[in-house]
Homo-oligomer: A and B are copies of this chain.
């Protein structure tokens, strides 16, 4: 597959940037676009992708481009010989999506339609689409296989993913040249082990790990846990957290599948670990790793919250030869390293720590309970 050119939408985002590392290391050329809706730019340059180049020693071709700008997308496809596409770009905040549905439908659906048209017009038919376990709605059975019904989605963000999956399925039925894989992500967390790239939402922090980290750093007073009397091991909701680098390698596996199976048409794979962890598990592991206290407050269950969700990962294992390798401890370690090396995310002027992984500016007292992860604090084992 070396030498093939992958067009990556949303390349400067959390998942996109980590995926670029894996793509470059697998020998692909990367042409990435981003509109910086939820990523950091420095005078039109994607800070995350500069770091990706630093990690890999390889160049990324980058364009600031909004997929709503049909002509610009088309022009980039005309300028490069694109072999395949990974489509991450989307608005993705669940709560916000309920408040701004028109913006979400517009951005996610029209952006995708423009992309598909550009692909078609340049005879590029290999696509990996960034879907979500949201498409399953409230699970009817666990673990969730790819056969689980979809469509009974509980939020607008997830509905845009479901609609796009349906569009892609219809497209692949209408013309066998299309070769499409939708990857249904469970809960991506963690960061690249270098600490150079990670999740840096430019909008209000909503995802669980950045939120836990912001509490650990004293930027937020506590984590609120809604419901502790569910029928789960510790009573709190459980999720299938997956290390971002495992997720990234899943995309490389999907791309290889597309390129070796030309009559695939349309396939769907779960990307998860198959293991369920509670919010409390995550908080406790994060405390262990960070030596910081993460206070939490228990509140009543919220109507509509999904209690328990984790993947059956058999299909991806059998057909993509892929499986997740990192555990929650490693996810927390890598996230904490990113967080401490970049206390203000990509806006930090320098990547700096005080040597033990604790950022210079933390005013809270580190929380040590004797449960050190290993001798050198949060330093991760090599590789991933």
The residues of A with any CB-CB pair to B shorter than 8 Å are: 98-102, 105-106, 109-110, 113, 116-117, 120, 151-152, 156, 159, 163, 166-167, 170-171, 173-174
Contacts and interface: CB of A to CB of B under 8 A. Distances in A.
A159 B151 contact: no
Given A105-B109, A163-B163, 6 more contacts: A99-B174, A101-B173, A102-B171, A110-B110, A151-B152, A156-B170
Nearest to A97: B170
Residue among A101, A106, A152 with max Cβ neighbours from chain B (10 Å):
A101
User: In terms of DSSP, what is the predominant structure of the interface of chain A?
Assistant: helix
Contacts of A98: 170, 173-174
Given A98-B174, A101-B174, A151-B151, A113 B106 contact: yes
A6 to B, nearest CB: 22
A113 B110 contact: yes
A245 B264 CA distance: 48
Contacts of A166: 159, 163
Contacts of A171: 101-102
A181 to B, nearest CB: 18
Of all A-B residue pairs in the complex, the 5 with the closest CB atoms, nearest first, are A101-B170, A106-B113, A151-B151, A156-B170, A101-B174
Contacts of A106: 113, 117
A110 B166 CA distance: 16
Nearest to A110: B110
A105 B113 contact: yes
A110 B156 CA distance: 17
Contact of A170 (B109, B113, B159, B170): B159
A167 B120 contact: no
Nearest to A166: B159
- Which of A98, A116, A120, A174 gathers the greatest number of chain B CB atoms within 10 Å? A174
Contacts of A101: 167, 170-171, 173-174
Contacts of A151: 151-152
A116 B109 CA distance: 14
Contacts of A102: 113, 116-117, 120, 167, 171, 174
Nearest to A105: B167
Nearest to A119: B102
A322 B325 CA distance: 62
A48 B110 CA distance: 32
A331 B106 CA distance: 40
Nearest to A153: B166
A101 B175 CA distance: 10
Contacts of A167: 101-102, 105
A356 to B, nearest CB: 46
A195 B173 CA distance: 41
Nearest to A159: B166
A110 B105 CA distance: 9
A233 to B, nearest CB: 34
A213 B127 CA distance: 45
A48 to B, nearest CB: 29
A121 to B, nearest CB: 11
A228 B170 CA distance: 30
A181 B209 CA distance: 41
Nearest to A117: B102
Contacts of A152: 151
A98 B151 CA distance: 20
A151 B98 CA distance: 20
A37 to B, nearest CB: 17
A110 B111 CA distance: 10
18 contacts: A98-B170, A98-B173, A98-B174, A99-B174, A100-B174, A101-B171, A101-B174, A102-B117, A102-B120, A105-B109, A105-B113, A106-B113, A106-B117, A109-B110, A109-B113, A151-B152, A159-B166, A163-B166
